[in-house]
Each structure stands twice: as C-alpha cells, then as structure tokens.
Amino acid sequence: MDLLLQQISAAADYLRALSFEQPRVGVVLGTGLGELIGHIKISHSIPYHQIPHFPESTVESHKGQLILGHIGDTPVIAMQGRFHYYEGYTMQQITFPIRVMKALGITQLLLSNAAGGMNTAFKKGDLVLLDDHINMQPENPLRGLNSPVFGPRFPDMSRPYDPALGARLQAAAASHDAEMKTGVYVSVMGPNLETRAEYRFLRMIGADLVGMSTVPEVIVANQLQLPCAAVSVVTDECDPDNLHPVSIEEIIAVAGMADKKLSSVFATVIKGL
C-alpha cells in the first residue's frame, strides 16, 4: 500500500512540475475514440512511458498519451488510450491513472468506450449513456487496499454513475441532434469476443452492452467519491440469432464514425463544468 501511494505521488508530482493549472475534468477515451483531442487547446502531450509508474498501452488503436489543456475555460486532463486486464496488467495498474488524476485535483470524470450492443434496439453507431453496470472481470481494483487513505474499503455502488453528469450529457446530445440512449454495461475479461451462448447469458442477466473496460475505473472513481459518467458507442450488433463475424478493424471503424458526435457532446458538457 505504501508503494502504491509513493507511485501515485511520484506521477502526480511529475505532472505538476509541468506548471499546468489544476485540471477540473478527467477524460478516458476508449477504442477508436479520440476526436475530443481536436477540441482541446493542448498545453502538454506526454507519452505514458515518460510518466513515472504509468503502464504503456499495448492496443494498436490506443495512442498512449496524456493530454493537458483546456476545452473552453475548463482545464482538462485526457487519457488518449486506456489499459485493460487482457493486456496483462493488474487492476491496480489499470486504475492507476484515475488515482493520479484525482490526486491532481479533478472533480469530475468522463469515460467512453466501444461496446457490443446486445439490446436489439441498439444499432451500430448509437451513443448509450451507462445507467448501471455488471462487473464480470476476474479481479477487483480495491482488493488488498484496506487503508482509509484510498477511500472506503466497501464503497457504496447503488448509483455508480452520477445522475447530474448524465443529465448534462443527455442535454448536450439533444443540443447536437444526437440521440443518446441508456443501458446497462457488462464488463468481461476479453480479449476474444463472445459466443452466441455467452451473448444470450449476458442479456439474460440484464446487460444491454458488453465490453472489456470502464468498470474497474468506475469502481475506483466511486471509492474516491469522484462523480463520473460513461458513454458507450455501439460498434457491433450482438444478436445471437443473427450473429455475423466481426473484426477489431470493423469495430474501430464504426467507433470512428460515431466519434465526431460523441466528442462534440463531451466538449459541450466540459465547457459547462
């Protein structure tokens, strides 16, 4: 525990030394989702490998840079690419950047991801605000962290996504004529996509979307009492009775087509925070 605290402090100190004002909003950008960077007046762009104790992104579509800058008058810190359990990282490594951003002073966190749409009402390119989630990852980022310095050991998860931030996202989507649906996201280990039987099972337990990220970061945000909201882009339709093979290249392409409207929505919300 002491080692993790030292690592968080070292990373935060490195970033503070860049003489950027305290960021107010943190952003995590998912697979194929990076156009928000074009809305940022960038002060610093730092490759992850330069930041003490940061993991390095190994997924081709994740650029692996931390961006410091402003959207409007709001100082932001954005992760251009995240980390996943399937890459071989521990849950504490995956969520390390969330703890660093909180140490730097962010007061809100926005996350995005690419997800498979199991609800047959969802189509490719849809934006879906996460209302709740189901955690089916094999590990938990809070395991072993029994010191109150990290936050409560048993954080309440009755509302993991902040309703006020969610309302702002929906209002921003409406202002851009972009429909934003709501749904429940289930996070699985990956990296393989699911079988027909697995899609049926995940739908049966109440999930509308499936992906391989986001939930560990949201758990830590809740432990840190950091309000957060997350939006999925539906990149493939996962109806087990009409299932077609899909490649990661197709998933990235669909995410890219929806990225412009999602980035505009995020930028509108951030300007108002």
Can you give the CATH number for the domain in which 263 is found?
3.40.50.1580
Interatomic CA distance for residues 62 and 49, integer angstroms: 13
Structural domain boundaries enclosing 166: 2-271
Low-confidence ranges of the chain (pLDDT < 50): none
Q: What angle do CA 191, 195, 197 make, to 5 degrees?
A: 140
Domains contained in the chain, number? 1
Per-residue model confidence (pLDDT) at position 241: 93
CA atoms within 13 A on the CB side of 52: 16
Per-residue model confidence (pLDDT) at position 220: 98
Instruction: Give backbone dihedrals phi and psi of 197, rounded to 5 degrees, phi first.
Output: -65, -35
Per-residue model confidence (pLDDT) at position 32: 79
- For residue 77, give the nearest of 35, 109, 113, 34 by alpha carbon: 109
- For residue 229, give the nearest of 82, 130, 134, 156 by alpha carbon: 130
Per-residue model confidence (pLDDT) at position 61: 57
| Token output for 71 | 């959207």
- For residue 28, give the nearest of 91, 114, 123 by alpha carbon: 114
